[in-house]
Structure 1
Amino acid sequence: MASGKRDPQPGDLIEINRGIYRHWALYLGDGYVLNVTPVDEGAPSLLVSTMSIFTRKAKVKKQLLKEVVENNDWKVNNKYDQSHTPLPVKEIIQHAELYIDMEVPYDVLSKNCEHFVTMLRYGEGVSDQAKIAIGSMLAVGAVAVASTVLVGLLRGKSREKEY
C-alpha cells in the first residue's frame, strides 16, 4: 500500500483509478475485497468493463486487494456517506459474502461496479461516473442535434440565395 493512504476497514468502498474509468470494490477485511469481474475469469482487469458491456453479465469475486489494484492508484472513498447512511458493517459483509462467485447483471449506466458496491454499503446502488457518462452522452447528443439543425438552416438559406 502506498504511503499516506488510510488502511481500509471492512465495509469501505475502494476506488481504483484505471485511467479512463474508475473500478470499485468493497473491502471485506484481511486484505480481501469483493468486486465484479468479467465472466471470462482469464481476462485482464483492464477489460472488466469492456467485456461486461458486451456480455451484460459479470461475476462477483472475492480477491486480494493487491491483485485487483495491480499497479493502479487506489484509495478508500466512502464519498456517498454524506448523502446516504451506511448499513451496519456486519450486515454489509454478510450480504456481500452471499454474492461470492455469483453471476450478476451488468450495465455500464445502471448496474456497474460502483452501483454494485454502493448497493452493498448503503442498500441503494449509486454511481457518479454513470451520471457523468449519461450527462456527457446527452451533451454530445444535444450538440449533434444543434449542429444538424444549423447545417439544415444554412443549407436552406444558401438554397434561397441560389434561386
Structure 2
Amino acid sequence: MAAYPEPGDLIEIFRPAYQHWALYLGDGYVINVTPIDEGPPAMFASAKSVFSRKAQVRMQLLKEVVGNDRYRINNKHDRTYPPLPVEEIIRRAQRFIGQKVSYDLLGSNCEHFVTLLRYGEPVSDQANKAITTIGFVTAAAGALSLLGILHSRSRERQY
C-alpha cells in the first residue's frame, strides 16, 4: 500500500529531465514555486522556471502539480536536519503563498524552497550535483586548453 503524504512532507516529482519539489500542506494541497509568466499546465512550470529570475509561490492541488508524472514522499534530510514542528512548517509556508521570490537553479530553486520550510535550512542535492558537474567540466576544459597550449608550443619548437 502506498504511503499518503502528511502535512510538512517533502514531495519529489519526477519530471523527464529533473525533479520538481513541493511541500505537502494537507487536504490534497501542496506549496511550490512556479515561474511568474507561467499558468497551466503545471507540468511545464518548473522547466520554464530554470530560465526565470522570479517565481511565484503557489498553493495547488498535488494532483495538478504532478500531472502524469510520478512522485514520492522524500524527507531525505530528516537525519541531518531535524524537521521543524509541523505547525511551524505550515505557518511558514502559508506566509509565502502568493509571494514573488527570486529563483535561480543553483542557489534558490524549488528544492531549496521546500527544505527551508521543513528544516529551516535551504538544501538542494540537485544544485550540489550541478555545481560539482560545472566544476568538473570547467576543470576538464581548463586541462584540455592547457594541453592544447603545450602541444602547440612543442610543435613550434619542431620547426
TM-score w.r.t. length of structure 1: 0.92
Match of 1:93 among 90, 99, 110: 90
Aligned counterparts, 1:103-118, within 5 A: 103-118=100-115
Partner SS state of residue 93, structure 1 = helix
Displacement, 1:50?
4.4
Aligned alpha-carbon RMSD (Å): 1.3
Residue pair 1:38, 1:47 contacting (<8 A) in 2 also? no
- Does the aligned pair in 2 maintain the 1:12–1:26 contact within 8 Å? yes
Distance in 2, matches of 1:142 and 1:47, equals 33
Unpaired runs of 5+ in structure 1?
none
Could you tell me how far apart the structure 1 residues matched to 2:40 and 2:46 are? 11
Aligned residues: 159
1:130 aligns with 2:127: yes
Asked if structure 1 preserves the Cα contact closer than 8 Å seen for 2:89 and 2:118, the reply is yes
Amino-acid identity (%): 54
Counterpart position of 1:35: 32
TM-score (norm 2): 0.95
Does structure 2 conserve the Cα–Cα contact (< 8 Å) formed by 1:15 and 1:24? yes
Unmatched 5+ residue regions in structure 2? none
Alignment of 1:51-62 (within 5 A): 51-62=48-59
Q: 2:11, 2:74 within 8 Å by CA — same for their partners in 1?
A: yes
Aligned with 1:84 (options 81, 87, 90): 81
Q: Does 1:119 align with 2:116?
A: yes
TM-superposed deviation, 1:47:
3.9
CA contact 1:56–1:105 (8 Å) conserved in 2: yes
